[in-house]
Structure 1
């Protein structure tokens, strides 16, 4: 479909720099979409809201607006519950297009009113692409709704944007009646904030009774921060209560909205429901607002200035938000590293604890010592060891043939003691890691619903499997060493288990490679084991075998504890908080800022005093308010057309004079 060219706007200003700005914003959009903020770090709740709003504003306003600079100026009419937004919109148009009511919330689905020739701007996804469209087939707000051309036919209720065409609007101007910003329904409030973020101009409606409410000023403050264009309608002001309007203007200035226009609708013009005629306010009541909007809609350059001002403010605010979000994401990565460090540190300390317990001889006491002494406690064996290597080998052969069942008992005692040491260290690591995470806001939230304070019941089985695997490793080392030495092959063939048990005992001694002059742990246990192995393999081989057995035990224990630490770090891995994307967001934001500066420097600024051709109709009541500078014949005119002049040149001159009067009034103020 060919893009419409609905208004005689100036030639597009979208040069190379504008296209570059779109490209830079698309990169930022992608990186914001991938940004991760799952941890409960300080300020993260507000940051998540900012992230959501930034993405919405890119999708709903900034990118669509830059891609379609000729799209009509979108005026979003927003305000508090019962402020009279729908009544104002209907009164400006002269027909009931949006349904006001006494029930709350009132406006449920947003209503967008546009000139008939501007329809294709809104039936496609060029404007507010995230909302489905429906159109009203009948006159008035209760006409049947039908899906718009290209719209989502499943859309209904507040999820859809209802489109209404009206000849009363100037071409190039659209009014959107949004849900209440303080609606009792969360979905309505969120939708209202989303629509206000997508506005080129926000027409905020409040009342003399509620103008100081906190919720509206929160949103107005956000508008000020992004330099959005805002006008305020103060409704239902009693005669003689001009002080209310003065106080509102003071608050407007205090909140950084000095340039916001304030319109006052007095009660003299609206004496409650009785003052409405067919549900509409009198023309005189809306004349000033209607004249201002009609003039804005009829002047392409004026529209372009409003659009550019809001767009530039949103870009600057987006850059600020993105940098702040990157800083929050940095904090997420710091928290991730802090939590991972706690898990790894305490489990590394558990590994050191196991290494110490298996190296200082403590494991060789108790049951292990008793089973070992049963195994080697014969006079013949000790005499053979003391007599020398040759006789020791012969004694070993006889010994192994006669006592084949003692070795496994020693192995089992070693396995039981080692299992207890490893489980105790793992339990302490779990308790310490849990305590550290529970004391950290980011970690505490991750522990909810998880049983991580203790080691799992399955760990005992896992440890037993690893210990059996290590004992098989030790026996395999002994076999390999025996096969490499012919003289020991016969002894090894009879006594792999006994030699393996002896090697295990050496591993648990305070020093691998004790000399005969040194005193072993537990009454010479390690000395005897070492002497036995040296008699078969030699000193150098024993030292090498002990080191290899020690390394393999450490590797298996480390694997067990690494798996226990992973119970914690897996929670972080699942969230992807090691790489949040902070650096990418920061770089993209800086690129947007630099590209925006270039685009603005190259932008052509139209002459505000130039006469512009009038383009479009007049809102109801616009012809009843005569600007002070209008010619005298305007007072005698029979209709709004004569009052504003018959030719486009005079209409443009009238609007220029009206705007000049506004500038003088603002200067006097």
Structure 2
């Protein structure tokens, strides 16, 4: 979309298709900003969050309403420093007190929007500033002094906007009396910024004593960046000093990129009994507003410049937010990598411990040796492995000793390994996060340096489920064998225990006979199974059982990992897309905003 196509104009209007596409783009931007999460405590993140909030507010208060209603009246916001005389100026422009002025600060708390009666539908609908509740005011016909005009200073009225119809306001231009931009009240300052961000036109009021203050210039520079039409009103200038002060201020405006700003000078003048300036003091300002009112093409130009400039400014803010999202993405990935690494190491250690013979010691070995016996069977091993197949049937005459004790020992030993390694991983991940400010902020006061409270119980349940799966493997394999009577005489539970023993020595595709661990324990297990099912079947069964055990261990560790990873926004993967989407939207907004050249 080029700048010519996208520039709004009240004379012929932007085409319906262009306007529809612009609104759709802006709605997409709003959706993206509303869903943007910046959860990590990184440098500059507070500023980025504030930028997100202010960008959303400006979309709602000004950009979207203006793009949807290009021919709506101009909103001219009267803003400025404390005591600059904003309310007095507004009263003078309409010719009678309508908004409160006086020495007590802050005077303006409840903003008052003055509009011509013909323009009422544009502002009563909540088209602009939708978050402010509408209050319909009336013009006071009596001779009420300015010190008692308008709304009383009431902090509870901050979220409302007083609408006043007044024929004295030029049609097509509404005046909004805003709170002080440097008010001692945070709410006042916030509201003033919100109102100025929603303006098509600024009437910025300052005084001969304060025109060089930092706060007004910060706002004026923002206006310059948005290419907004600004009228600077230099108020309360001592008689005789008008030319000198105006020349100095004009030079400052030119240096700061506001050479095109309209400058009006209001000399220090005594107020009448109602607190009103004489009409001639503001006549040039009123004439200028009336010229705008009478010139539809001029109003369209003001709309075009302000709207395009604001959209370009929004594009720049999206680029800043894209950088913030990228920083979040990088930091989130690092935090996620720290957790993944800690638990991957734990998984590797569990896998090694459950396949290198570590578990074939202590209680497991003792219960296994009780199970198979140490006499005749081991004498058979000493006399030759080749004779084992012939003697195994004789050895297992009758019922073998119960396998339950071996299963229980396996469960206890394996559980101890899993819990220990998971605890080490949690402690490692917790330490890595606490060494990082973003990780510390995500953890807060929570202690994740050990496993969750029910982890040991879950581990035991998973091990028992695995043991049941191993028994199913034996049952399925034995059902297809001719030697069914032999393996049935030994028992599914017995052979299941044997397979578990083989798994615990199943390293790199090798089985017990090739590794020879714990005094021939695995050799016994392997040969028992080979006598029943054959060598190839033993390798396959051991591999399946091993993979199943590793999968269950990974699931247990995954639950512990999620305690960390779920704190990174919606998960570490969700950090990938926002930066790219924001960059793409920023480019589209830049095109929508055009080149920014003035007509």
Structures share fold, TM-score greater than 0.5? yes
Q: How far, CA to CA, are the matches of 2:460 and 2:512 in structure 1? A: 32
In the alignment, structure 1 residue 568 sits paired with structure 2 residue 564: yes
CA distance 1:377–1:226, change in 2 (3 Å): same
Partner of 2:203: 203
- Checking the alignment, whether the CA contact within 8 Å between 1:229 and 1:309 is kept in structure 2 is yes
* Equivalent residue in structure 2 for 1:446, among 419, 442, 445: 442
In the alignment, structure 1 residue 393 sits paired with structure 2 residue 390: no
Compute the displacement of 1:514 (Å).
4.1
Partner of 1:427: 423
Partner of 2:497: 501
Partner of 1:36: 37
SS in 1 for 2:518: helix
Q: How far, CA to CA, are the matches of 1:116 and 1:156 in structure 2? A: 27
CA distance 1:573–1:73, change in 2 (3 Å): closer
Q: How far, CA to CA, are the matches of 2:546 and 2:461 in structure 1? A: 17
Compute the displacement of 1:246 (Å).
4.5
* Equivalent residue in structure 1 for 2:453, among 440, 452, 457: 457
Name the Cα RMSD after superposition. 3.0
Partner of 1:622: none
SS in 2 for 1:397: coil
Q: Which TM-score applies when normalising by structure 1?
A: 0.79
Q: How far, CA to CA, are the matches of 2:100 and 2:496 in structure 1? A: 90
In the alignment, structure 1 residue 578 sits paired with structure 2 residue 575: yes
SS in 2 for 1:204: strand
CA distance 1:81–1:489, change in 2 (3 Å): farther
Partner of 2:368: 372
SS in 2 for 1:571: coil
Partner of 1:655: none
- Checking the alignment, whether the CA contact within 8 Å between 2:79 and 2:180 is kept in structure 1 is yes
SS in 1 for 2:98: coil
Compute the displacement of 1:226 (Å).
1.0
In the alignment, structure 1 residue 136 sits paired with structure 2 residue 137: yes
CA distance 1:135–1:491, change in 2 (3 Å): closer
Partner of 1:152: none
Partner of 2:117: 116
Compute the displacement of 1:520 (Å).
1.9
Compute the displacement of 1:596 (Å).
4.8
- Checking the alignment, whether the CA contact within 8 Å between 2:347 and 2:553 is kept in structure 1 is yes
Partner of 1:356: 352
Partner of 2:92: 91
- Checking the alignment, whether the CA contact within 8 Å between 2:138 and 2:165 is kept in structure 1 is no
Q: How far, CA to CA, are the matches of 1:302 and 1:309 in structure 2? A: 11
Q: How far, CA to CA, are the matches of 2:78 and 2:160 in structure 1? A: 17
Deviations, residues 193-230 of structure 1 (Å, cap 9, x unaligned):
11101111111112333333333222222111111111
Deviations, residues 498-549 of structure 1 (Å, cap 9, x unaligned):
3222222221126465475x56222222222222222333322222221122
Compute the displacement of 1:559 (Å).
0.8
Q: How far, CA to CA, are the matches of 1:301 and 1:537 in structure 2? A: 94
Compute the displacement of 1:355 (Å).
1.0
Deviations, residues 567-621 of structure 1 (Å, cap 9, x unaligned):
12222354784355443343344334435549x99x9x7xxxxxxxxxxxxxxxx
Compute the displacement of 1:78 (Å).
0.7
- Checking the alignment, whether the CA contact within 8 Å between 1:384 and 1:392 is kept in structure 2 is no
In the alignment, structure 1 residue 105 sits paired with structure 2 residue 102: no
Q: How far, CA to CA, are the matches of 1:295 and 1:379 in structure 2? A: 115
Partner of 1:47: 48
Compute the displacement of 1:332 (Å).
3.0
Partner of 2:169: 169
Deviations, residues 70-98 of structure 1 (Å, cap 9, x unaligned):
32222100112222211111122221111
CA distance 1:524–1:157, change in 2 (3 Å): same
Q: How far, CA to CA, are the matches of 2:24 and 2:470 in structure 1? A: 63
In the alignment, structure 1 residue 554 sits paired with structure 2 residue 545: no
Compute the displacement of 1:114 (Å).
1.3
Q: How far, CA to CA, are the matches of 1:352 and 1:113 in structure 2? A: 73
SS in 2 for 1:164: strand
SS in 2 for 1:522: coil
Q: How far, CA to CA, are the matches of 1:535 and 1:253 in structure 2? A: 98
In the alignment, structure 1 residue 308 sits paired with structure 2 residue 304: yes
Compute the displacement of 1:244 (Å).
4.9
Partner of 1:415: 411
Q: Which TM-score applies when normalising by structure 2?
A: 0.87
Q: How far, CA to CA, are the matches of 1:593 and 1:23 in structure 2? A: 15
| Alignment gaps of 5+ in structure 1 | 1-8, 146-154, 606-669
- Checking the alignment, whether the CA contact within 8 Å between 1:137 and 1:143 is kept in structure 2 is no
Work out the number of aligned pairs and report it: 575
* Equivalent residue in structure 2 for 1:335, among 331, 334, 340: 331
- Checking the alignment, whether the CA contact within 8 Å between 1:513 and 1:530 is kept in structure 2 is no
Q: How far, CA to CA, are the matches of 1:489 and 1:281 in structure 2? A: 114
